[in-house]
Amino acid sequence: MRFIGKMAMLGVACISLTACEQVQKVAANAAGLPTDENVLFWTQDQRDNAFRQMEVLTTTRTIEAGDTIREIPAGKPLPALLPAADETDGAGISIDDYMADQRLAGLVVLQDGKARLEEYRMDFTKDDRWTSFSVAKSLVSTLVGAAIKDGFIKSLDDPLTTYIPELTGSGYDGVTVEQLLTMTSGVKWNEDYEDKNSDVAKFNTTKSKDGVDPVILYMKTLVNEAEPGTRWQYNTGETNLIGVLVAKATGKSLSEYLSEKVWKPYGMAKDAVWILNDGGKEIGGCCISATTRDFALFGQFAMNGGKIGDTSVVPDGWYEKAGTKQADIGLEGRGYGYQWWTYDDGSFAAQGIFGQGIFVDPKRKLVIASNGNWPRATPDDKKAGRDAFYHAVQAYLDSEAAPAN
């Protein structure tokens, strides 16, 4: 859900700008794009402008789509006013009002692979890309499953140091791949964005040294403060480590592997892009820019268990475990799986700051993808409004399926 990154022009984590970069920075400012390196301090207008063109602000790698596009047939349209799921929704939820309140650029609702709703606002279209922020975490989780299926990673029970030996002697001694996926490593971490001395603030400024990934350089300095597997703590740095793990195990960039395993064979319509860190590696915990349609298709892929036709990209039963509670996060009815937020009704979601999300409900064959720009990174009222919309769609689909009296 969370991301704070260095957005210096044409170079992530660039502290000292060259003369050329200074010119680019002035040009970006004139175009209404942000020049502040911290996304949390961008203005709303700057975010509206930048979220649709992050590749202009920083270095990226392309996630290539293939020649065959998966068609999304039209389904029965959802009503413009969804009936109230419960008394908290009042008279119901208007699609127009919901999109305006959430400041959504794109909203796609699929059921059984058919588009029940596809709406765009803010001069955004079905062919435009929008950044995902921590939605990317759930895609990276899928790459772990693919790497296991392909034999690059032997077991979730393997020690992380088997694949990233540079972490030997750090707080990650004894931590397994599965504990990294569930954010239960027990490693001490501070994800307070308002604290300039927090880990999440400092690790993004780490520079590559002697060819070593800056993620490794920072994460190897951390110490363990709880027995691995006994405590959940949200940790963006650990998802970045998952990205390092996959890249090392497969010998491929994350963009290349995602393109090979999902983007091309599943028929995504458009190339996506992935932001790179100072070491030239994809930021595992963040920042894939894609169309809202393609994010919805990824949700469809996950809902179908990671299968493309008769071929399974991940081990059998992967999503049944990845999308169910593996760690208690202290919220009733909620949990954390393998980089997916889980609901006790069997649904699960990828979530990113400022209103990005992919909601997957296998029971109802439902996928809801949204991209937008909330006024703040994680406002409670917007999160509650999004959940209310999910519940209203679920309730409406249940009413459709109910036998007539």
Instruction: Establish if 321 belongs to a structural domain.
Output: yes
- In terms of Cα–Cα distance, which of 222, 144, 140, 145 is closest to 185? 222
pLDDT at 208 over 90: no
Q: Which stretches of 208-291 are DSSP H helices?
A: 214-219, 236-250, 254-258
Mean pLDDT of 290-307: 98
pLDDT 10s digits, 303-342 = 999 999 999 999 999 999 999 999 999 999 999 999 999 9
Total domains present in the chain: 1
pLDDT at 214 over 80: yes
Is the pTM above the cut of 0.75? yes
Instruction: Establish if 89 belongs to a structural domain.
Output: no
Give pLDDT, residue 346: 97
Give the C-alpha separation, 377 to 286, whole Å. 14
Counting other chains too, the contacts that 146-149 makes at CB distance below 8 Å and 24 or more residues apart are 146/257, 146/261, 146/262, 146/306, 146/313, 146/314, 147/246, 147/249, 147/250, 147/257, 148/314, 148/315, 149/312, 149/313, 149/314, 149/315
In terms of average pLDDT, the best of 41-45, 160-164, 276-280 is 160-164
pLDDT 10s digits, 245-292 = 999 999 999 999 999 999 999 999 999 999 999 889 999 999 999 999
Give the C-alpha separation, 263 to 67, whole Å. 11
Buried b (16+ CB within 10 A) or exposed e, 197-214: eebbbebbebebeeeebb
Band of pLDDT at residue 120, cut at 50, 70 and 90:
very high
Instruction: Establish if 80 belongs to a structural domain.
Output: no
Contacts of 241 (CB under 8 A, 6+ apart): 160, 164, 167, 172, 180, 215, 216, 219, 284
Contacts of 380 (CB under 8 A, 6+ apart): none
Q: Which helix (H) or strand (E) holds 289?
A: strand 288-290
13-22, 46-55, 77-86: range with lowest mean pLDDT: 13-22
Give pLDDT, residue 31: 57
Angle, alpha carbons 308-288-52 (nearest 5°): 120
Question: How far, CA to CA in Å, does 377 sit from each of 18, 350, 351?
Answer: 31, 15, 11
Mean pLDDT of 167-191: 96
Instruction: Establish if 92 belongs to a structural domain.
Output: no
Query: Which CATH number fits the domain that encloses residue 161?
Result: 3.40.710.10
Buried b (16+ CB within 10 A) or exposed e, 234-250: ebbbbbbbbbbbbbbbb
Q: Could you list the residue range(s) of the whole structural domain that residue 164 is in?
A: 32-71+102-401
Give pLDDT, residue 25: 53
Share of the chain above pLDDT 70, in %: 90
pLDDT 10s digits, 356-391 = 999 999 999 999 999 999 999 999 999 999 999 999
Give the C-alpha separation, 151 to 288, whole Å. 25
Give pLDDT, residue 405: 61
Give the type of residue at 123: D
pLDDT at 193 over 50: yes
Instruction: Establish if 83 belongs to a structural domain.
Output: no
Instruction: Establish if 17 belongs to a structural domain.
Output: no
Structure-block tokens of residue 375 = 């006024």
The CB density around residue 178, as the number of other CB atoms within 10 Å, is 19
pLDDT 10s digits, 61-76 = 999 999 999 999 999 9
pLDDT at 302 over 80: yes
Instruction: Establish if 205 belongs to a structural domain.
Output: yes
Average pLDDT, the chain: 90
Instruction: Establish if 196 belongs to a structural domain.
Output: yes
